[in-house]
Structure formats: C-alpha cells, structure tokens
C-alpha cells in the first residue's frame, strides 16, 4: 500500500527511520526533504535540519510534495494537548473534525476563486484501529482545535476553546485543508503529550513539553513500527 506519513516532534529523536533513504523534491512552493522506503514516504513537518516552529512550516510545499510524488493516502501523527480531563497524557486519539480559525497559508488557491468543504477522510483509520488493538487503544472521532503557535495558549484561551473540541495543536488543520484541496485522503492520529495550560492544575512550558515528548518516544516508535507492518 502506497502511504505517506506526516509527523514532527515525535520523530525528531527517533532512530526508527535512520536507514530510510533521504531525498529532496522541488515543488512550486519550495523544496521538501523527505525519507522513503519501498512504498512509504515520511515528511517531518518541522524539517530535518533546523526544526521550524509551527507558524513557519511550509505546509503548502509539504502537501504539494506528497501529491507530486503520487501519494493519495496520508497518515498524520500529531503531538497535542488535552482539553478534556478524561483524556490524560499518553492517550492516543484520532480526530474526525477540526476547528481552524487561525490564519495561515492553508490554501493552494491564492489566485483562484475556489474552495470547498474541508474535512478529514480517515479512510485508513478503521483498519488501523482494528489491527493496532489491543496493544494500542485509540479514541476515535475527536475534534482538533488549532492555534497558531509557537507559544502555548493562555489559561483564558484554554477556558474558551475547551468548549470547541477535545485536543489542541498547531498544525493539523492546515494540513487537512491542503490535503482536501490537493485530493489527498488525510488520516488523523494524535498522541496527547500534556494537559492544556491550566487544565488539571497544569503549568505548561516548552522545557516541560520536550520532556513529556521524550517520555512518550518509545510508544511512538512502537506505533509506527506496527503501522508499517499493517500497511506494508
């Protein structure tokens, strides 16, 4: 099965893809470096050199690269914060919808009066949920709230947006928008690394966030290993 993966924070320190071939493709929106093995490709959304913060990611180049490479199915793994007390850190979720009110380069239609209803296809998620169980429990049909970043949200912002969705992040809505426009099927997986700022008494900062991501690295590696087996 020909599948592309989008990930970021969770694979920065992973050795799982160390032996994959590194290639670069030129797109209409700039060059994109990716890793490949067999029918799989992997893009680190933050880049493989200097990690780009979420608001500086070239989303259009990343998604255009996958389309130009002939991929139709995309599986995205995002690091997210929880907006719900019953979704603690360490929980895997799949989002079926999203709120993306923050501005950004989330369209290919700069000079055309075009558009449509965006969404998350999740065409591979039923298969993944079935085959990953019982080792992994993934909570489906969650709502992703996107904020701009790179800073975390204030406690007041969290009190507002926790009524909008289940998890919060900085990247998935842009990617889902662009995949819809490019005719790609976007599949959502996310690992909750932290409670959102102020939730359950959490005081979040970037140093704590990096430690939490590091703590979850082994589980992310195992999840990717199983997905490659299932989709291979």
- CA-nearest of 145, 146, 95 to 121 is 95
Write down the pLDDT at residue 212.
Answer: 67
Residues 20 and 70: their CA atoms lie apart, in Å, by: 19
Q: Are the beta carbons of 57 and 102 closer than 8 angstroms?
A: no
Residue 109 has pLDDT above 80, yes or no: yes
Write down the pLDDT at residue 228.
Answer: 96
Residues 113 and 9: their CA atoms lie apart, in Å, by: 35
Backbone angles phi, psi at 191, to 5 degrees: -110, 125
170-220 pLDDT, tens digit per residue, is 999 999 999 999 999 999 999 998 999 999 887 876 776 676 667 678 889
pTM reported for the whole predicted model? 0.93
Q: Are the beta carbons of 54 and 29 closer than 8 angstroms?
A: no
Residue 104 has pLDDT above 80, yes or no: no
- Cis bond upstream, residue 150 (ω within 30): yes
For residue 115, the tally of other CB atoms under 10 A from its CB is 11
Q: Are the beta carbons of 76 and 192 closer than 8 angstroms?
A: no
Residues 205 and 104: their CA atoms lie apart, in Å, by: 24
Task: Tokens 């200097």: give the residue.
Answer: 50
Residue 12 has pLDDT above 70, yes or no: no
Q: How far is CA 70 from the centre of its chain?
A: 20
Task: Catalogue all structural domains in the chain, each as residue range(s) with its CATH number.
Answer: 3-231 (3.40.50.1580)
Helical segments of the chain, H only: 59-68, 125-132, 155-161, 172-182, 206-215, 217-231
For residue 215, the tally of other CB atoms under 10 A from its CB is 12
What is the share, in percent, of the chain residues with pLDDT greater than 90?
Answer: 74
For the record, the structure tokens of 113 come out as: 């009066």
Residue 13 has pLDDT above 70, yes or no: no
Residues 204 and 153: their CA atoms lie apart, in Å, by: 9
Write down the pLDDT at residue 4.
Answer: 98
Query: Considering Cα of 142, then 143, then 149, then 152, what sign does the dihedral take?
Result: negative
62 pLDDT tier (thresholds 50, 70, 90): very high
For residue 226, the tally of other CB atoms under 10 A from its CB is 15
105 pLDDT tier (thresholds 50, 70, 90): low
Write down the pLDDT at residue 29.
Answer: 96
CA-based radius of gyration for the chain: 17
127-159 pLDDT, tens digit per residue, is 999 999 999 999 999 999 999 888 999 999 999
């Amino acid at each position: 099965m020909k599948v592309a993966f989008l990930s970021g924070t969770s694979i920065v320190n992973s050795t799982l893809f160390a032996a994959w071939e590194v290639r670069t493709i030129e797109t209409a929106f700039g060059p994109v470096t990716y890793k490949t093995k067999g029918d799989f490709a992997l893009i680190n959304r933050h880049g493989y050199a200097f990690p780009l913060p979420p608001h500086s990611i070239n989303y259009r180049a990343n998604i255009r690269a996958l389309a130009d490479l002939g991929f139709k199915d995309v599986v995205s793994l995002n690091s997210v914060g929880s907006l719900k007390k019953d979704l603690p850190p360490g929980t895997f979720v799949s989002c079926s919808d999203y709120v993306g009110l923050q501005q950004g380069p989330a369209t290919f239609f700069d000079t055309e009066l075009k558009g449509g209803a965006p969404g998350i296809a999740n065409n591979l998620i039923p298969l993944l949920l079935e085959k990953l169980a019982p080792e992994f429990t993934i909570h489906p049909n969650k709502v992703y709230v996107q904020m701009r970043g790179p800073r975390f949200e204030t406690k007041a912002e969290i009190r507002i947006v926790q009524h909008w969705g289940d998890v919060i992040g900085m990247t998935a809505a842009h990617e889902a928008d662009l995949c819809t426009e490019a005719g790609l099927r976007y599949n959502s997986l996310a690992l909750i690394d932290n409670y959102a700022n102020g939730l359950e008494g959490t005081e979040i900062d970037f140093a704590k966030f990096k430690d939490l991501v590091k703590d979850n690295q082994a589980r992310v590696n195992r999840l990717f290993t199983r997905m490659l087996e299932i989709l291979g």
